[in-house]
Amino acid sequence: MPNAYIAGTGFYVPPNVVTNHDLSKYMNTSDEWIRERTGIQERRFVEKGKGPSDLAIPATEQALESAGLTVEDIDFMIFATSTPDYYIPGSGCLLQDKMGFNEIGALDIRVQCSGFVYGLSIAEQYIKTRTFENILLIGAEAQTTAMELNDNGRDVSVIFGDGAGAVIISGTEKNKGILSTHMHSEGKYLKELWMEAPASNAGMPRILPEDLEEGKQYLKMNGREVFRHAIVRFVEVIHECLEKNNLKVEDIDLLIPHQANLRITQMVQKKLGLNNDQVYSNIHKYGNTTAASIPIALAEAVNEGKISKGDKVVFASFGSGFAWASAIMEW
Ligand SMILES: CC(C)(COP(=O)(O)OP(=O)(O)OC[C@H]1O[C@@H](n2cnc3c(N)ncnc32)[C@H](O)[C@@H]1OP(=O)(O)O)[C@@H](O)C(=O)NCCC(=O)NCCS
């Protein structure tokens, strides 16, 4: 069986930079409050008329180039997004058309902040069974269009940003690549981080003027509960992947966690006893980009020369669902 490895990486963020100071024009907040609580300094807002499939194009072009491949070489696509361009059809189908891929399968997956790691797991199975040779995996989000830019939504709207990351996953007979992946969910906490409308269980139509007035179309979060669960689940799922591979915390060369919040990352780092060089963070520049955060961080870490051949790289995520996951690979 071949091993599945990451053959190329790329990322893209939209040009519109929104600083903490910019947000303080819409709501009662401050640069100091946001930096101290989240580590975020600025994030990107997608422009009107663009969606995740548009953000995914430059990210995919870079990933293809770094893998030395073209659209013709890709035989399957997995598009992780919790903010698809449309409810119907999925963003993968849009990207297939926009980039002129062959008539390949285009699988949209949700799983919110854990979408990328779940996607890695799916891709790994197809590579190992030789079903496909080169898979494009994307995490892309236009999350800021669900932000309530006023005092009601200030806890959520200072955290999220837009962007896209892409990787190419290919097969190799060499002793490298994904060692294992681990996925979990606990749906009883769905309302701790969710968007209520539009919803297909709301009847016809899926959203009413009174829903809009109540603000059901905005992402809602119970920050304290999310924080409490996140620090436990991140640590657990990282230990799970280490134990599965008979590895120890000190064997991790780089942990790329979902960029949820700097304070969560710092707490996880402390609980695991990792040093600063072992943990990657770029949340200060982009905020929390949901399914895009890990592939964006990975692409930046690669560009900065932070990952070398043979390194053990761990990805870990936690988010709405709740859903959490980890993956470990040898680079
Ligand atoms: C959201 C979060 C930063 C809030 O920090 P906190 O220390 O828990 O703050 P609290 O919720 O206790 O709120 C403290 C006060 O700040 C206020 N506040 C909330 N958002 C604010 C903002 N953007 N600016 C200024 N004040 C804000 C609250 O209204 C509250 O005011 P009150 O005391 O008058 O009621 C924190 O809970 C968190 O990081 N949670 C995890 C979020 C996350 O990572 N989500 C993504 C998961 S994928």
Res 191: pLDDT = 98
Q: Is residue 258 among the annotated active site residues? A: yes
Res 86: pLDDT = 97
Q: Whose CA is nearest to atom 7 of ligand 1?
A: 37
Catalytic residue among 134, 258, 261, 282: 258
Res 261: pLDDT = 95
3-state secondary structure 252-283: CCEEEECCCCHHHHHHHHHHHCCCHHHECCCH
- Residue 267's identity, in one-letter code, is M
Q: Is residue 134 among the annotated active site residues? A: no
| Tens-place pLDDT, residues 18-30 | 999 999 999 999 9
Non-local (6+) Cβ contacts of 120 within 8 A are: 137, 169, 178, 181, 315, 327
Cβ(219) – ligand 1 distance below 6 Å: no
Cβ(261) – ligand 1 distance below 6 Å: yes
Q: Is residue 303 among the annotated active site residues? A: no
Q: Whose CA is nearest to atom 2 of ligand 1?
A: 223
Cβ(226) – ligand 1 distance below 6 Å: yes
Cβ(284) – ligand 1 distance below 6 Å: no
Buried-state track 154-178, b at ≥16 Cβ within 10 A, e below 16: bbbbbbbbbbbbbbbbbbeeeebbb
Question: What is the CA(291)–ligand 1 centre distance, in A?
Answer: 22
Tokens of 260: 């949820």
Per-10-residue mean pLDDT of the chain, 331 residues long, equals 97 98 97 97 98 98 98 98 97 98 98 98 98 98 97 97 98 96 98 97 95 97 97 98 98 98 98 97 98 98 98 98 98 98
Q: Whose CA is nearest to atom 37 of ligand 1?
A: 223
Contact 168, 135 (CB under 8 A): yes
Q: Whose CA is nearest to atom 28 of ligand 1?
A: 155
Report d(CA 319, CA 271) in Å as an integer. 19
Non-local (6+) Cβ contacts of 232 within 8 A are: none
Report d(CA 226, CA 84) in Å as an integer. 23
Report d(CA 279, CA 314) in Å as an integer. 9
Question: What is the CA(295)–ligand 1 centre distance, in A?
Answer: 26
Tokens of 170: 């290919």
